[in-house]
Amino acid sequence: MAGIQINIGDHVSHQPGYDAIPIGHQKTMRWARTKAKWIASNINSANTYFHTLPDGRSLSDLLGDSSIWVNYHATMPDFGEAEISGKEIAISHTAYRIGRWTVLATLIHELAHINGAPGTPDKRAERAVIECGMGKLSELTTGVDDPFTPYNPNIGG
Amino acid sequence: MRRRSWYQLVILTAFLSGAPVAGFACRCLEDISPAAAYKYADAVVQGQVQTVRGDINAREGSTASVAVSKAWKMSVSGEIEVLTSKSCAFAFEAETEYLLYLQILPNGTGYTTRRCAGNKPIAEARKALDWLARRGAPATLQRAAP
């Protein structure tokens, strides 16, 4: 099935530090990709929100784009990074260390950047995590993090 | 005419394949604790930004010249240059005093920092300064060579 690709050593990114996902993390990344597709199919606000981002693509459309690559970054202390309106995503060892829901939230956040969402101080990329059902509106309105959701109002990018 | 069209196609392809993206964006926790910021830093300094060169949105980033008044964790020069670039770059403002959490560049020639490293304007750094007074290891400032 065509769709965003996980770099398992079959892709060389033009971005320095963007490497193949280690074997031990590939299962987590596959889970995150599968879950993201489930979200796109089952949570209406996900596609609706992604349509509002600068490049106007839906989450389903992005997840079906086989020119988008998800890589690994072994040294970055941040959770992830992406080219704005580009094709390359890196998810870091930091996100994997926290767990698969953080990997999934980071994938959604970075896909929002791929869809044109600007970086800080703009908050639209992290808002995508809420619109995909991984946070509470109360966290958004109060700015207080609920540690039981992957969304965190203190996260920028 | 056909040759010209082929040439234009080559130029267009080269342009598109190397077309710069608008920039980078990262996902990071902006409000980290003083203890975590200290742990991840190679050096911590209090200092005044003298000048800022470059553009954080450009690939090469920007470099701030910083006059250091205090240091912790590692001895540093009284005047240092701090690079910030690409993802999660820190937006330095000239003539502003900061508490900065620095990492040594991989080539060992200077320092770098990021937006989510724990950096704060000194006016907002009371909590971190209190933590450093209690738990930080003070370091000496090296005099610049004459």
Domain ranges of chain B: 24-142
A49's CB contacts (< 8 A; 6+ apart) are A59, A127, A128, A131, A132
Beta bridge partners, B71, equal: B45, B139
Contact state of B88 with A117 under an 8 Å Cβ cutoff: no
- On the question of a cis peptide bond just before residue A121, with omega within 30 degrees of 0, the verdict is yes
Stronger pLDDT, A104 or B114, i.e. the higher one = A104
Mean pLDDT of chain B: 83
How many Cβ atoms are within 10 Å of A109's Cβ, its own excluded? 31
Label residue B60 by pLDDT band (50, 70, 90).
Answer: confident
Average pLDDT score over residue span A5-34 = 95
Residue whose structure tokens are 């738990």: B135
Interface of A with B (CB under 8 A): 76-86, 95, 105-106, 109-110, 113, 116-120, 125-126, 152, 154-157
We find that the CATH architecture of domain B24-142 is Beta Barrel (2.40)
Cβ neighbours of A78 in B, within 8 Å: 26-28, 87-88, 114, 116
Give CA–CA dist B129/B72, Å, rounded.
11
Label residue B22 by pLDDT band (50, 70, 90).
Answer: low
Could you give the residue ranges of the DSSP H alpha helices within chain A?
23-42, 44-52, 59-63, 93-98, 100-114, 124-131, 137-142
> Is residue B6 predicted with pLDDT exceeding 60?
no
B134's CB contacts (< 8 A; 6+ apart) are none
> Do residues B143 and B78 touch, judged by C-beta distance below 8 A?
yes
Residue B118: both structure tokens together: 């724990």
Average pLDDT score over residue span A129-148 = 94
Cβ neighbours of A86 in B, within 8 Å: 21-22
Nearest Cβ partner for A84 among B21, B116, B117: B21
Does the model's ipTM exceed the 0.85 cut? no
B86's CB contacts (< 8 A; 6+ apart) are A81, B24, B59, B61
Cβ neighbours of B25 in A, within 8 Å: 81-82, 84, 110, 113, 117-120, 125, 157
Average pLDDT score over residue span B50-76 = 91
Cβ neighbours of A81 in B, within 8 Å: 24-27, 86-88
- Per-residue model confidence (pLDDT) at position B18: 41
Domains in chain A, start-ordered, CATH in brackets? Answer: 5-142 (3.30.2010)
Number of H helices, E strands in chain A: 7, 5
Give CA–CA dist A72/A23, Å, rounded.
11
Q: Per residue in B94-109, pLDDT tens?
A: 999 999 999 998 788 8
Residue A39, phi then psi, degrees to nearest 5: -60, -45
Residue B34: both structure tokens together: 């003083």
